[in-house]
Structures are given as structure tokens and as C-alpha cells.
Amino acid sequence: ALHAGVSAIVTDGWPMNELIDDGHNGLLVPATQTGWFHMAPTWEVAPQSLANAMVRLATNPTLLQRLRCPSPGELAARQ
């Protein structure tokens, strides 16, 4: 998502919580670990939590713009 310029909404479980800093480069939603699959944890998210994160992005253009991964040209223009 980040490389496509799309804001990321991910679970707050490992490993995504190590890649995304909530409110800085994406949004983290609370998740519960439900098991393991091929040595990686599986997570379950409450649908309302995911919906709240989507609504938060959809209704806050400033946040949406900030969470997008900028193109190289946009990044240079910001500095």
C-alpha cells in the first residue's frame, strides 16, 4: 500500500506494528492473535475497529495526505 501511494490500515500485531507507526505512516487497528500459520501469527480485527479507521481516513483529508507514501518528487518538494 505504501509504495502504491495508498494509506495503510493494518493490525497492531507483529510484524505490521513494527513497520507502521500509528498516525505517522499508517493507522494501526487493535487485533487479537487467533493462532499461527506457517510460523507466523494470525490476527483477527473487530469489523467496527477497521470501519472506524476507514471513516477516519475518509473524513480527514489532511490525515489522508500525510499518511500517503509520497513519490520521490513530492518528497523532495516537502524538504
pLDDT digits (tens, 9 = 90+) for 35-66: 998 888 888 899 999 999 999 999 999 998 88
Average pLDDT of the residues in 56-78:
77
- Dihedral sign for Cα atoms in the order 20, 26, 32, 37: negative
What is the helix (H) or strand (E) element at residue 23, kind and residue range? none
Q: Which residues pair with 11 in a beta bridge?
A: 29
Confidence (pTM)? 0.75
